[in-house]
Amino acid sequence: MRSIRPYQILVVGIFAVLPSTVWVPVAWSEADVTCTDAGFCVNVAKQPKRSSPAKRSDANSAKDRPDGGDEENQKVREANKKFSAALAVYDRRLASYNRCLQTFDPSVNKTGCGSAPTLPDVPRLSSATFSGRGNQPTPTAGQAAAIAVARLQLPSIPPGIGPSPDINPWNMAAVGYPLWLWADGTTNVGPISDSVAGLSVSLEAEVSSLAFRMGDGNTVRCAGSGHPWTAAVQPGTKSPSCGYSYAKPSLPGRTYTVTAVANWAVTWTSNGQSGVINVPAVDTTELPVGELQVLVR
């Protein structure tokens, strides 16, 4: 399973100079560089592992060495750098998105994320950056998987809440009444295949966890996707897996914004490697909650 590629270290001149000048900052800001405590930086360039497609054959030649090669190979390396940089930007934005969702509750904390966060755009291999002969990057299997997963555009999971307020005369849920919560949508996707820069990627996704921000400051975490409420459920029965009872009404005048934050665990396989990428999805619904009274004589 593990795939460690051989790496070639380019020690670019730095070892050949005097100690007093060894520590001058290097100017390889766009390359993969490892820096150590004393500011000593070394360029680490990959020898890409090539596996298949013919369209990648030019980059597959023995001349495709990080420390040399012809102009064409130089272009490939530059394309790879640009691609890695674009993917790094995407990764940072995705990490920011994920962090935001950890606390995102539109009804309670509007300052953390502002409005509902959106997934960042995927780096486009077809963009002008990567067009033209020799400009196509040769992503690793992991990079290709990241792109394929992002392209997948997994659906959000609408929060399922039952019994629905629509089926009672007051069109509201009631304080103290056990509500059932579940993922009201597809919770499995795939297997699906995609091709990224000549690499085939197989994907299979499932919702691995689900959390409901109930809009009153509380969060319900469900181990699975919850059990849907049906009309056959006896009144007052609690959900066997995922439920909630409001302690306070939202009415009059307000509704609770219930937010479902789901995690899609996407298992990918490409080029003999595999892994899991977690992709969150968020969706909301409005729920009026009121108190019911009975007359005691």
* Residues numbered 62-81 forming contacts with other proteins, rule: CB under 8 A: none
- Considering the rule CB under 8 A, would residue 249 count as an interface residue with other proteins? yes
Other CB atoms within a 10 A radius of the CB of residue 157 amount to 25
Of the candidates 138, 156, 179, the one whose C-alpha atom is nearest the C-alpha of residue 284 is: 156
- Considering the rule CB under 8 A, would residue 89 count as an interface residue with other proteins? no
Of the candidates 141, 170, 123, 135, the one whose C-alpha atom is nearest the C-alpha of residue 51 is: 141
- Considering the rule CB under 8 A, would residue 240 count as an interface residue with other proteins? no
CB of 26 to other proteins, least distance (A): 9
- Considering the rule CB under 8 A, would residue 173 count as an interface residue with other proteins? yes
- Considering the rule CB under 8 A, would residue 276 count as an interface residue with other proteins? yes
Contact 26, 41 (CB under 8 A): yes
Q: Which of 220, 258, 261, 282 binds other proteins (CB under 8 A)?
A: 220
Q: Which of 95, 102, 103, 193 binds other proteins (CB under 8 A)?
A: 95
The half-sphere exposure of 2 on its side-chain side, counting CA atoms within 13 A, is 2
Of the candidates 84, 208, 67, the one whose C-alpha atom is nearest the C-alpha of residue 137 is: 84
Q: Which range of residues in 53-61, 65-73, 153-161, 249-257 is near other proteins by CB under 8 A? A: 249-257
Q: Which is nearer to other proteins, 106 or 162 (CB)?
A: 162
Q: Which range of residues in 49-57, 74-82, 108-116, 171-179 is near other proteins by CB under 8 A? A: 171-179
Interactions with other proteins, residue window 13-32 (CB under 8 A): 15, 19-20, 22-25, 29, 32
Q: Which of 117, 137, 139, 163 binds other proteins (CB under 8 A)?
A: 163
- Residue whose pair of structure tokens reads 């792109």 in the numeric block: 147
Size of the site for other proteins (CB under 8 A): 88
Of the candidates 130, 264, 274, the one whose C-alpha atom is nearest the C-alpha of residue 201 is: 274
Q: Which of 218, 254, 272, 286 binds other proteins (CB under 8 A)?
A: 218
Of the candidates 186, 276, 180, 219, the one whose C-alpha atom is nearest the C-alpha of residue 102 is: 219
CB of 68 to other proteins, least distance (A): 18
User: First vs last Cα of the chain: how many Å apart?
Assistant: 73
Interactions with other proteins, residue window 98-137 (CB under 8 A): 98-99
25 Cβ contact list (under 8 Å, min separation 6) = 39, 41
